[in-house]
């Protein structure tokens, strides 16, 4: 076993390479800049493309063009950049463009604090675009997750032809950490399904029994249409309510109905516990320590670490929370994902611990809530 | 060659709209140049010119308002052999101004056709970045306050090597289109036309007037020579081919033994230029040589060469959960900036903690054992104090050993730098 020392952002870059990323574009912003630095080092010598956009809108625009031309694309920014991506994100959702978007969250609102961590974008990533359709958000806990969940993000983007967010946090992305690179449990690399050419190609026509249209690249021998307008299977504007509804339903269902197939999580079950701590991101690490310490005390707690945040893995949350009388959720914000728990677990007592001061939530603070509510 | 027009979707514009003529001129140019639909992608913006892609039987990409050049750039980098043609109006040009300037500076092989009709046709004839000040448009008096811009001069000044103007009604339009499309690099053709649906209802403008207005504008042919250079994609691939492949991440095998078991927290407090972050990294690497897991968090201001620099490192034989500092076993205090940043920490230090203090640095009261080191007396310069402190730490047999530290130096430094680091180790050990 050898140990590698890497910061989370570097691991995101290496994970992207392992997933077959061939295109990156970004605009520098702390705390995401070192992802761009890493991709600039890794991509061009291997025949890939790494560009620095004139702004965030251009950066993600390059990615959308490159992705539709057949490349596996990624961009990375922080909260202020996600705001600027917003319209392009809705485009990628509605027009089924695979892309991985890393949000290295920093303390907001607005310019906020460039070098302070937070998980303040957790609702924003799902709802910060027009149209209200689902997206996929994965949340890494440590440097290992930065590597493997970035690979998963690419696989999901390819499989479902949609934007997939990696919701990192300054506290993971800019923290250096050792890990055993060769012991990682890596997923197999997935490529988007290409049309076999047996039927006339419809750029947005999902085959019978499938929810995702087959792909062909712009620039190939078969003509491909891409459009941000409301379109039918042929990629031309449609005004037919039935056709519009079908397309919207498919975009909704392709993720909602499949989330159990990509629900990533960890759990630490403590026998005799009456409380379940539910956490994600860097806070899950403090929660792990808190739960370990609580194990030696009167009031024990188990821990569920969510790594797939959106679509909300409702089934998993219900199942895992079922044996417990009480749920505790710590978050580096003033109460965002806890709303989902309240929605999914009506009637369950939920204690919330929120901090938004630029500091990590401490194990002792979580333990305090476990013990005393 | 066959026409590239989409036979099932004939152009639909207002009667007399000049866009209709440009669609046919573009088709004529492409067919005369021998292109078929698979060779071309038409990337369109929003507005009436945004309908262009639907009238052609080619690859098509219709995106957001003002962003057409961004998609076109991504497509061209991914598919260098594809002809990439962008159509946008004077509206798209204005809202996407930053992209226009950057595309000119890049000189990527894209042809941009600006269908310039001096107003926003689709939304009701509001003013654009090219509306004359004396025009009557849907924006009330606002256009009277803003100067219209000459697209070609702006693009030329930004570095576009091929800029040209044409009237929709000029016989030379097809030839101009062909020249723009044939150019290897960024080409921009500013095509002036009439919008009978909106603009010419209240403004007297006709093909003759357009020709007369165009004739008054300064010549822009000089930009071709001035901005001549290698196309962006070609230059990019040339640069990339000369790069060395990056080395794989280093794996550190455990060969040493850590002096203590359990979680060891170290805080290094200094100022910019004292290589505090490097020292933190060395502790991590040293830990790895003993099979320990390590985390490192740093804290420094955005300024370079000024202000505090703090590194917080944790070593443990177990995976590290919480990465914050709770109970440091060692603190290295090398500059007042760093000490000031963590002044509240000192009163909470346990008596078992060790503080290495550079001679002359004041500390808040603390129960920890303090070891003062006179680096100056040992002729060690400030940028090497952090490394020297690690040697002191190793001599105290705290957190790391000399073997661990030497292993770390070997992973972190090569050649002359490694020799210089070893010289510091020798000086402080003497
Ligand atoms: S509004 Fe103007 S630009 Fe649009 S189609 Fe009508 S005439 Fe043409």
CA–CA min distance A262, chain B (Å): 25
| Any A CB within 8 A of B38 CB | yes
As a whole number, mean pLDDT of residues A60-74 equals 98
Same domain, A174 and A271: no
Of ligand 1's listed atoms, the one at least distance from the Cα of B49 is 3
Please indicate, yes or no, if residue A228 is contained in any of the structural domains: no
For tokens 């080409």, what's the residue?
Answer: B187
Report residue B394: phi and psi, to 5°: -65, -40
d(CA B355, CA A236): 70
Residue B405 reports pLDDT greater than 70: yes
DSSP B159: T
- Tell me which chain A residues have a C-beta less than 8 angstroms from the C-beta of B60: 223-227, 235
- Chain A residue with minimum CA distance to B101: A54
| H or E, element range at A65 | helix A56-68
Q: Which of residues 96-125 of A touch B (CB under 8 A)?
A: 114-115
As a whole number, mean pLDDT of residues A45-59 equals 98
d(CA B53, CA B5): 10
Same domain, A161 and A27: yes
Same domain, A283 and A150: no
Q: How deeply is A366 buried, as exposed, middle or buried, from its count of CB atoms within 10 A (0-12, 13-18, 19+)? A: buried
| Any B CB within 8 A of A71 CB | yes
Same domain, A173 and A313: no
Please indicate, yes or no, if residue A229 is contained in any of the structural domains: no
Q: How deeply is B336 buried, as exposed, middle or buried, from its count of CB atoms within 10 A (0-12, 13-18, 19+)? A: middle
Q: Is the CB of B117 under 6 A from ligand 1?
A: yes
Contact residues for B212 (Cβ-Cβ < 8 A; gap 6+)? none
Please indicate, yes or no, if residue A199 is contained in any of the structural domains: no
pLDDT (tens digit, 9 = 90+) per residue, B40-78?
999 999 999 999 999 999 999 999 999 999 999 999 999
Q: Which residue out of B115, B193, B195 has the highest number of ligand 1 atoms within 8 Å of its CB and is therefore the one to mutate?
A: B195
A224–B243 CB contact, under 8 Å: no
Q: Which residue out of B50, B196, B203 has the highest number of ligand 1 atoms within 8 Å of its CB and is therefore the one to mutate?
A: B196
d(CA B245, CA A237): 45
Residue B53: CB atoms within 10 Å: 24
Which domains are seen in chain B, by residue range?
A: 18-241 (3.40.50.970), 264-429 (3.40.920.10)
| Any B CB within 8 A of A87 CB | yes
Q: Which of residues 62-101 of B touch A (CB under 8 A)?
A: 62-64, 67, 70-79, 81-82, 98-99, 101
Helix (H, G, I), strand (E, B) or coil at A362: coil
Residue A298 reports pLDDT greater than 90: no
d(CA B351, CA B367): 5
Please indicate, yes or no, if residue A194 is contained in any of the structural domains: no
As a whole number, mean pLDDT of residues A22-32 equals 98
Distance, CA B218 to ligand 1 centroid (Å)? 28
Are the C-beta atoms of A290 and A367 separated by less than 8 Å? yes
Are the C-beta atoms of B214 and B165 separated by less than 8 Å? yes
How confident is residue B302, by pLDDT bands cut at 50, 70 and 90? confident
Q: Give the pLDDT confidence score for residue B262 in this predicted structure.
A: 96
Q: Which of B128, B130, B243 is nearest to B190 (CA)?
A: B130
As a whole number, mean pLDDT of residues B88-101 equals 97
Q: Give the pLDDT confidence score for residue B371 in this predicted structure.
A: 97
Contact residues for B403 (Cβ-Cβ < 8 A; gap 6+)? B256, B289
Same domain, A156 and A32: yes
Strand partners, A352: A329
pLDDT (tens digit, 9 = 90+) per residue, A204-243?
999 989 999 999 999 999 999 999 999 999 999 999 999 9
Of ligand 1's listed atoms, the one at least distance from the Cα of B199 is 2
Q: Give the pLDDT confidence score for residue A290 in this predicted structure.
A: 98
Residue B346 reports pLDDT greater than 70: yes
Domain that holds residue A22: 3-183
d(CA B397, CA B391): 10
Q: How far is CA B393 from CA B306, B383, B398, B429, in A?
A: 26, 17, 5, 11
d(CA A318, CA A341): 9
- Tell me which chain B residues have a C-beta less than 8 angstroms from the C-beta of A47: 240
- Tokens matching residue B84: 């990439």
- Tell me which chain B residues have a C-beta less than 8 angstroms from the C-beta of A229: 62
CA–CA min distance A327, chain B (Å): 21
Distance, CA A338 to ligand 1 centroid (Å)? 50
Phi-psi label, residue A161: left if phi above 0, alpha if psi -120 to 50, beta otherwise: left
Q: Of the candidates A130, A159, A183, which is a domain's last residue?
A: A183
d(CA B64, CA A86): 11
Q: For chain B, give the percent of residues with pLDDT over 90.
A: 98
Are the C-beta atoms of B322 and A360 separated by less than 8 Å? yes
ipTM: 0.97
How confident is residue A297, by pLDDT bands cut at 50, 70 and 90? confident
Helix (H, G, I), strand (E, B) or coil at B188: strand
Q: Return the residue whose CA atom lies nearest to atom 1 of ligand 1.
A: B121
B254–A3 CB contact, under 8 Å: yes
Task: Check which CATH number belongs to the domain holding A330 and give it.
Answer: 3.40.50.920
Strand partners, A4: A179
Q: Give the pLDDT confidence score for residue B141 in this predicted structure.
A: 97
Task: Check which CATH number belongs to the domain holding A39 and give it.
Answer: 3.40.50.970
As a whole number, mean pLDDT of residues B355-383 equals 97
What is the torsion angle, in degrees rounded to the nearest 10, for the CA atoms of residue B3, residue B4, residue B7 and residue B9? Answer: -140
pLDDT (tens digit, 9 = 90+) per residue, A304-316?
999 999 999 999 9
- Tell me which chain B residues have a C-beta less than 8 angstroms from the C-beta of A204: none
B67–A57 CB contact, under 8 Å: yes
Please indicate, yes or no, if residue A109 is contained in any of the structural domains: yes
Helix (H, G, I), strand (E, B) or coil at B297: strand
Same domain, A157 and A299: no
As a whole number, mean pLDDT of residues A141-165 equals 98
pLDDT (tens digit, 9 = 90+) per residue, B177-188?
999 999 999 999
Q: Is the CB of B151 under 6 A from ligand 1?
A: no
- Tell me which chain A residues have a C-beta less than 8 angstroms from the C-beta of B81: 219
Distance, CA B125 to ligand 1 centroid (Å)? 9
Number of domains comprising chain A: 2
A114–B302 CB contact, under 8 Å: yes
Q: Give the pLDDT confidence score for residue B430 in this predicted structure.
A: 86
Are the C-beta atoms of B259 and B286 separated by less than 8 Å? no
Q: Return the residue whose CA atom lies nearest to atom 2 of ligand 1.
A: B195
d(CA A306, CA A338): 12
Distance, CA B90 to ligand 1 centroid (Å)? 12
Query: For the range B234-242, what are the long-range contacts, defined as Cβ-Cβ under 8 Å and sequence gap of 24 or more?
Result: B234/B80, B234/B184, B236/A44, B236/A49, B236/B77, B237/B80, B239/A44, B240/A44, B240/A45, B240/A47
Q: How far is CA A291 from CA A275, A328, B33, B322, in A?
A: 10, 11, 71, 12
Q: Of the candidates A183, A218, A243, which is a domain's last residue?
A: A183
Q: Is the CB of B197 under 6 A from ligand 1?
A: yes
Q: Is the CB of B14 under 6 A from ligand 1?
A: yes
d(CA B31, CA B36): 7
Q: Of the candidates A145, A165, A183, which is a domain's last residue?
A: A183
Are the C-beta atoms of A11 and B299 separated by less than 8 Å? no
- Tell me which chain B residues have a C-beta less than 8 angstroms from the C-beta of A219: 41, 59, 75, 78-79, 81-82
d(CA B412, CA B289): 12
Q: How deeply is B133 buried, as exposed, middle or buried, from its count of CB atoms within 10 A (0-12, 13-18, 19+)? A: exposed
Please indicate, yes or no, if residue A298 is contained in any of the structural domains: yes
Are the C-beta atoms of B87 and B52 separated by less than 8 Å? yes
Please indicate, yes or no, if residue A238 is contained in any of the structural domains: no
Residue A351 reports pLDDT greater than 90: yes
B71–A176 CB contact, under 8 Å: no
Residue B1 reports pLDDT greater than 80: no
Distance, CA B121 to ligand 1 centroid (Å)? 5
Distance, CA B114 to ligand 1 centroid (Å)? 14
Q: How many residues does chain A have?
A: 373
As a whole number, mean pLDDT of residues A337-356 equals 97
Q: Give the pLDDT confidence score for residue B304 in this predicted structure.
A: 79
| Any B CB within 8 A of A237 CB | yes
Of ligand 1's listed atoms, the one at least distance from the Cα of B193 is 3
| Any B CB within 8 A of A131 CB | no
- Tokens matching residue A369: 């809530």
How confident is residue A341, by pLDDT bands cut at 50, 70 and 90? very high
Same domain, A272 and A163: no
Distance, CA B195 to ligand 1 centroid (Å)? 5
Same domain, A280 and A178: no
Of ligand 1's listed atoms, the one at least distance from the Cα of B125 is 1
Of ligand 1's listed atoms, the one at least distance from the Cα of B48 is 4
For residue A6, give the nearest of B57, B249, B293 by CB distance. Answer: B249
Averaged pLDDT of chain B:
97
Same domain, A174 and A269: no
Distance, CA B35 to ligand 1 centroid (Å)? 28
- As a whole number of angstroms, the longest Cα–Cα distance in chain B is 93
For residue A88, give the nearest of B64, B249, B324 by CB distance. Answer: B64
d(CA B339, CA B357): 10
Same domain, A169 and A272: no
Q: How deeply is B237 buried, as exposed, middle or buried, from its count of CB atoms within 10 A (0-12, 13-18, 19+)? A: middle
Same domain, A138 and A272: no
- Tokens matching residue B193: 């036309």
Please indicate, yes or no, if residue A35 is contained in any of the structural domains: yes
Same domain, A270 and A158: no
């Amino acid at each position: 076993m050898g140990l590698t020392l890497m910061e989370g952002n570097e691991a995101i870059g290496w994970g992207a390479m392992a997933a077959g990323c061939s295109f990156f574009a970004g605009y520098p912003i702390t705390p995401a800049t070192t992802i761009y630095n890493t991709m600039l080092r890794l991509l061009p010598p291997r025949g890939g493309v790494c560009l620095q956009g004139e702004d965030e809108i251009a950066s993600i625009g390059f990615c959308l063009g490159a992705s539709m031309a057949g490349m596996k694309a990624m961009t990375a920014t922080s909260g202020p950049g996600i705001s600027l991506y917003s319209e392009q994100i809705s485009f990628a959702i509605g027009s089924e463009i695979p892309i991985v978007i890393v949000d290295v969250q920093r303390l907001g609102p607005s310019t906020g604090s460039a070098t302070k961590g937070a998980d303040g974008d957790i609702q924003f990533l799902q709802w910060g675009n027009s149209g209200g359709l689902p997206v996929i958000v994965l949340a890494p806990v440590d440097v290992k997750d930065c590597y493997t969940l970035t690979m998963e993000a690419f696989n999901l983007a390819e499989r479902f032809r949609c934007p997939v967010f990696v919701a990192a946090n300054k506290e993971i992305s800019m923290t250096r950490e050792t890990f055993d690179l060769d012991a990682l449990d890596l997923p197999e690399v997935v490529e988007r399904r290409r049309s076999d050419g047996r039927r006339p190609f419809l750029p947005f026509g999902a085959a019978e029994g499938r929810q995702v249209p087959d792909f062909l690249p712009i620039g190939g021998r078969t003509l491909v249409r891409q459009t941000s307008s409301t379109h039918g299977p042929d990629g031309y504007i449609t005004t037919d309510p039935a056709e519009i509804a079908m397309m919207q339903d498919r975009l909704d269902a392709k993720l909602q109905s499949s989330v159990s197939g990509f629900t990533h999580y960890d759990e630490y079950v403590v026998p005799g516990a009456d409380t379940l701590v539910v956490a994600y991101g860097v806070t899950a690490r403090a929660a792990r320590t808190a739960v370990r310490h609580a194990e030696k005390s009167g009031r024990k707690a188990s821990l569920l670490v969510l790594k797939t945040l959106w679509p909300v893995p409702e089934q998993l949350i219900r199942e895992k929370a079922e044996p417990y009388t009480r749920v505790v959720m710590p978050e580096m914000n003033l109460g965002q994902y806890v709303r989902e728990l309240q929605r999914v677990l009506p009637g369950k007592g939920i204690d919330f611990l929120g901090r938004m001061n630029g500091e990590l939530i401490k194990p002792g603070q979580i333990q305090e809530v476990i013990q005393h509510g | 060659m066959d026409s590239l027009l989409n036979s099932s979707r004939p152009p639909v514009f207002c009667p007399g709209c000049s866009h209709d003529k440009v669609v046919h001129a573009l088709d004529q140019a492409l067919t005369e140049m021998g292109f078929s639909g698979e060779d071309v992608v038409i990337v369109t913006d929003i507005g009436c010119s945004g309908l262009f892609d639907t009238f052609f039987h080619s690859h098509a990409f219709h995106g957001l308002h003002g962003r057409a050049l961004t998609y076109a750039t991504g497509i061209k980098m991914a598919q260098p052999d594809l002809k990439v043609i962008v159509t946008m109006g004077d509206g798209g040009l204005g809202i996407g101004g930053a992209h226009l300037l950057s595309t000119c500076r890049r000189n990527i092989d894209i042809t941009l056709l600006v269908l310039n009709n001096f107003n926003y046709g689709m939304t009701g004839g509001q003013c654009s970045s090219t509306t004359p000040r004396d025009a009557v448009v849907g924006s009330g008096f606002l256009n009277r306050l803003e100067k219209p811009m000459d697209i070609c001069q702006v693009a030329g000044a930004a570095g576009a090597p091929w800029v040209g103007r044409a009237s929709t009604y000029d016989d030379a339009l097809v030839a101009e289109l062909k020249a723009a499309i044939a150019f290897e690099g960024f080409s921009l053709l500013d095509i002036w036309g009439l919008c009978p649906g909106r603009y010419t209802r209240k403004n007297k403008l006709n093909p003759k007037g357009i020709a007369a207005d165009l004739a008054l504008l300064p010549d822009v042919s000089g930009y071709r020579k001035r901005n001549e250079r290698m196309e962006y994609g070609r230059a990019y691939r040339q640069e990339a081919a000369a790069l060395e492949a990056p080395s794989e991440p280093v794996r550190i095998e455990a060969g040493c033994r850590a002096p203590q078991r359990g979680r060891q927290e170290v805080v290094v407090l200094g100022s910019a230029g004292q290589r505090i972050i490097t020292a933190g990294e060395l502790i991590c690497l040293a830990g790895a040589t003993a099979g320990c897991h390590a985390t490192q968090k740093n804290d420094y201001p955005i300024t370079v060469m000024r202000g505090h620099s703090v590194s917080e490192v944790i070593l443990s034989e177990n995976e590290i959960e919480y990465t914050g500092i709770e109970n440091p076993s060692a603190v290295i205090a090398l500059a007042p900036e760093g000490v000031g940043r963590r002044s509240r920490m000192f009163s909470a230090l346990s008596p078992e903690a060790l503080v290495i203090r550079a001679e002359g640095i004041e500390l808040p009261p603390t129960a920890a054992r303090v070891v003062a080191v006179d680096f100056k007396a040992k002729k060690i310069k400030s940028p090497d104090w952090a490394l020297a402190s690690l040697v002191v730490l190793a001599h105290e047999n705290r957190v790391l050993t000399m073997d661990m530290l030497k292993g770390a130096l070997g992973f972190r430094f090569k050649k002359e730098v490694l020799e210089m680091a070893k010289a510091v180790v020798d000086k402080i050990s003497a």
